Structure 1
Amino acid sequence: MIFRMNRGSPARRPVVAALAALPLLLAAPSVSAAPPGADVRLLGEAIVPHLLDYRGTTVGGLSGIDRDPCTGEYVMISDDRSYHQPARFYTAAIRVDENGVGPVDFTGTAPFRQPDGSTYPAPTDNDGNAVDPEEIRVDPRTCQYWWAQEGNRPKTPSAPDPVIQPSILKTDGTGQHLGEHRLPPNYEITADERGPRRNLVLEAITFDPTGSVLTSALEGPLIQDGPLPTTEDGALARVTAQTRSGEVLGQYAYPIEPVFTAPPPGGRRPDTGIPAILAHPDDPDRFLVLERTYVEGTGFKVRLFDATTTGATDVQRVDSLADRPVQPMRKRLLADFHDLGLSTVDNIEGMTWGPRLTGGERTLVLVGDDNFHPQLTTQIIALALPGEN
């Protein structure tokens, strides 16, 4: 199936190169960042029709994307918690070049399987087997899939819904279960109100180019690490590098931006955090980090940062970041998506490296999660970054 494209302007747009504002105690100059004057430009975007039917499934909720080095195609995960159809992923051929992005041609879909071979059920008040799929990556060594699901922290300790721990699972191209990756101990949801917050758990994972290191980022701060971001202050989320077998190589504090604007009086709390992280192909300590915020009455703010763990404190044995000053990861703003000329800036949640352009620029391919909502769109976006970036 092929979908329409919106071309980006060929004109280059200046990148914003300002450092994120941090509390004085945590402030640090940016290093390993994009050179001053570097450009990020929009190549184009493709819009997938809302609630598209593909092989008996409803395409939507696409919250993660990765490029398969074995096929050149892309794999995308749906965050459908088995409400529409069983939790699943899609594969697609997507053209990305100097002329833009698209067509998007879906080539396959399969449900994720539990260890016993069954699909995942929709959540119920007492079903601990439900999942919340959020991210998918292709193993550079085997081209099998590793996917992350957030689990569930009940709204209150007495709520009927069960605790479901976050996890990173492994599957083959047909969805068959191949195993589970061991997570750091402080990613565990506990009964004593420690660990990840509800719906701010595990949305971001990435492999280094060799497949030796898997890095994950929590979407928001652990409960013991301090309050959520406000319009005045940011927050610290944990980023963890592990071996394939689960050994923690290092854990670092990533500074999430303050909320860009306040909701209307009586409005719901803004949703803000890290939906995606992407390892740099040439520097093992460097990452692209996507920050996404939704504020009721205003809409979405999406920003792309270049971040490094170089010089950051290893916090894997620091119980609470709220109780101890640490040196966080340093970062530099690469792009505010409102400055790129997109048709709309919605709920962008996934990103992966695409092919290099003939002029040497790298391409970045992103996907937007429409949450199966008619006022949001499923976008496939392609950006060009300087070749040295």
Structure 2
Amino acid sequence: MKKLIFSLLSLSAFGHNLSFHKQIILEQGLKVQETLLGGLSGIRYDVSKNLLYAVSDDRARKSPARFYTFDVFENKNGLNFKVKDAIILKTGKGTNYRKGSVDFEDIEILDENNVIITSEGNLMSRYVQPPRVIVFEKSGKYSKDYLVDTKFKPHRENGHFVSGIRDNLAFEPLSFTPDKQHLFTGVEDALQQDGPVASTRTHSNVRLIRYTKTGSGYSPNEEFVYPLGPISNIETTVQSLAAQSGVPAVLALDKNNLLVMERTYYPLQNRTTVQLFKVTIEEDTTNVQGMHSLIDKKFKYVKKKLFVNFDEFLPKLSKDYRFLDNIEGLALGPNLRNGNQTLIIVSDDNFNKGQRTQFIVFEIKGKL
């Protein structure tokens, strides 16, 4: 039996301070500088340039690996985004990434000239690709990789992966603390050696990694465990079969407090639910960096409490698109004219004809 110490876990909501501001749906097939716009997986607002950055998780298949910038402005209809540029990301050799060699998922603004982007890697390609945290110049030129602990790198024995990331469930989230002294990333669901993925019967052990600023870079000094799930039943247990959950995004409020997004897809209903949890790394939360496996280990989870279930806002969405698409990105946005800051989420359309790029903007009344 697993020896686990649970922190106080409550699924009753805080009572959030978000109000619906606007939904923006982008048309499919939009071309930007000869690239196909879509697959937006991570977003970040650059206050100094008044630009929204959005990275595509296309795996360099539809177009070269890339991120986009959007001009941000407010008019009588509220906040708006207008796509501006497509920036092609380059390898250390200055070439385009091979198809399937990267799976870029989230983006952060490092400084005036550089961004940081996570890649999930790829276990299904001919050459297995590990997860990465990469620094690029804003021009798309490769700068360097940050260190990733070996426990996250896929390891295969007798034709089967026995440790490291699971395919398409690796480094999704990325977020700086406001003072940029710490950088968070983590896996979307449990590592192979950390137990099963989340289901309707059990939670899973998701590692959150806290990087700390060291000179001109960041080092992964700590790992904490976030309990993902269990997945909630929708209407009936049968209709919830095959549901998949994960952590696609986080937003660091400070070094010990985060907003963590949980997204669950119910294939039998073709429905997605998205929730935000307020998470606290307490003084006695266990740093599990030294544990290669979490199975049968004793540790204390981060504290987790529901902040908002975005289903609450479904009635506010336009009648022709009144559902949550494949939401993956989360970011603080600009202040509105009334002085209140915004929170933005975005969906990855998977380049699927039945899906769209869906921006939903919320007004924050007070502080998060």
So what's the TM-score if we normalise by structure 2?
0.88
Alpha-carbon deviation of 1:234? 1.1
Structure with bigger strand share is 2
Q: 2:53 matched to which residue of 1? A: 75
Q: 2:67 matched to which residue of 1? A: 89
Q: 1:85 to 1:185 in 2, by over 3 A?
A: same
1:29 has 2:13 as partner? no
Q: 1:292 matched to which residue of 2? A: 263
Alpha-carbon deviation of 1:267? 9.8
1:116 has 2:116 as partner? no
Give the one of 337, 347, 352 matched to 1:368.
Answer: 347
Q: 1:90 to 1:265 in 2, by over 3 A?
A: same
1:388 has 2:359 as partner? no
1:47 has 2:25 as partner? yes
Q: Distance in 1 between matches of 2:5 and 2:361?
A: 33
User: In the TM superposition, what are the counterparts of 1:171-190 in structure 2 within 5 Å?
Assistant: 171-190=136-155
Q: Distance in 1 between matches of 2:23 and 2:239?
A: 35
1:149 has 2:119 as partner? yes
Q: Deviations over 1:185-224 (max 9, x none)?
A: 2221112411111111111111112222211111001111
Mind listing any 5+ residue stretches in structure 1 that lack a counterpart?
A: 1-22, 124-129, 155-159
Q: Distance in 1 between matches of 2:185 and 2:328?
A: 15
Q: 2:82 matched to which residue of 1? A: 105
Alpha-carbon deviation of 1:97? 8.4
Q: 1:142 to 1:94 in 2, by over 3 A?
A: closer
Mind listing any 5+ residue stretches in structure 2 that lack a counterpart?
A: none
Three-state SS of the structure 2 residue aligned to 1:364 is strand
CA contact under 8 A between 1:68 and 1:143: conserved in structure 2? no
CA contact under 8 A between 2:241 and 2:268: conserved in structure 1? no
Q: Deviations over 1:39-92 (max 9, x none)?
A: 322111111111211221111100010011320111100111121110111000
Three-state SS of the structure 1 residue aligned to 2:311 is helix
Q: Distance in 2 between matches of 1:228 and 1:97?
A: 44
So what's the TM-score if we normalise by structure 1?
0.83
Alpha-carbon deviation of 1:291? 0.9
Alpha-carbon deviation of 1:333? 1.1
- Letter matched to residue 323 of structure 1: D
Q: Distance in 2 between matches of 1:303 and 1:360?
A: 26
Q: Deviations over 1:216-236 (max 9, x none)?
A: 111001111111111121111
Q: Distance in 2 between matches of 1:362 and 1:34?
A: 25
Q: 2:184 matched to which residue of 1? A: 215
CA contact under 8 A between 1:170 and 1:181: conserved in structure 2? yes
Q: 1:6 matched to which residue of 2? A: none
Q: Deviations over 1:304-323 (max 9, x none)?
A: 11111124211111222221
Give the one of 324, 327, 330 matched to 1:345.
Answer: 324
Q: 1:307 matched to which residue of 2? A: 279
Q: Distance in 1 between matches of 2:245 and 2:264?
A: 4
Q: Distance in 1 between matches of 2:366 and 2:71?
A: 24
Q: Distance in 2 between matches of 1:96 and 1:258?
A: 40
CA contact under 8 A between 2:137 and 2:143: conserved in structure 1? yes
- Letter matched to residue 206 of structure 2: A
Three-state SS of the structure 2 residue aligned to 1:199 is coil
Q: 1:226 matched to which residue of 2? A: 195
Q: 1:261 matched to which residue of 2? A: 233
Q: Distance in 2 between matches of 1:88 and 1:37?
A: 38
Q: 2:291 matched to which residue of 1? A: 318
Alpha-carbon deviation of 1:105? 0.7
CA contact under 8 A between 2:56 and 2:104: conserved in structure 1? yes
User: In the TM superposition, what are the counterparts of 1:165-176 in structure 2 within 5 Å?
Assistant: 165-176=130-141
CA contact under 8 A between 2:19 and 2:363: conserved in structure 1? yes
- Letter matched to residue 96 of structure 2: T
In the comparison of the two structures, how many residue pairs are matched? 351
Three-state SS of the structure 1 residue aligned to 2:25 is strand
CA contact under 8 A between 2:346 and 2:359: conserved in structure 1? yes
Alpha-carbon deviation of 1:361? 3.9
Q: 1:380 to 1:95 in 2, by over 3 A?
A: farther
Three-state SS of the structure 2 residue aligned to 1:67 is strand
CA contact under 8 A between 1:360 and 1:386: conserved in structure 2? no
Q: Distance in 2 between matches of 1:98 and 1:366?
A: 21
Q: Deviations over 1:156-180 (max 9, x none)?
A: xxxx722111111111121111111
Three-state SS of the structure 2 residue aligned to 1:224 is helix
Q: 2:104 matched to which residue of 1? A: 133
- Letter matched to residue 212 of structure 1: Q
1:164 has 2:129 as partner? yes
RMSD of aligned C-alpha atoms?
2.7
